[in-house]
Amino acid sequence: MKQVMVVRTDIKMGKGKIAAQCCHAAIGAYKQADKEKIRKWENEAYAKVVLKAPTLQDLYNLREIARANGVAYYLVTDAGRTQLPKSTVTVLGLGPDEDDVLDKITGDLKLL
């Protein structure tokens, strides 16, 4: 079991901004997840992986694959208070879910 955050790399975000956006994605996806999957994930290691995707369209495509496979997801849209313009989509959170399920969606992506 794990949770995956996919960060856009075509926009400029500082390390702190990326961390904050990943936190939003993790919490948002967690709130959407199946309660049994949450319990199983919580009883394991709470694994989280942060990956990178080159474009906004990549996040949208991954979201659609997740939706089609019944994987909880959350797409973070920035409020525009600091580094980014309002409504900039930054990170896609997925899961928690089974490793093999998430690997089918994100297995081709590289670590951030």
Token duo for residue 15: 């390390």
- Return the pLDDT at 72: 98
Mean pLDDT of 8-15: 95
CB 51 within 8 A of CB 5: yes
What ranges do the domains of the chain cover?
Answer: 1-78
pLDDT of 112 > 90? The answer is yes
pTM greater than 0.85 (yes/no): yes
Indicate the class that CATH gives domain 1-78: alpha beta
Per-residue pLDDT at 38 exceeds 90:
yes
Residue 24 pLDDT greater than 90, yes or no: yes
Q: Is the predicted pLDDT of residue 41 greater than 90, yes or no?
A: yes
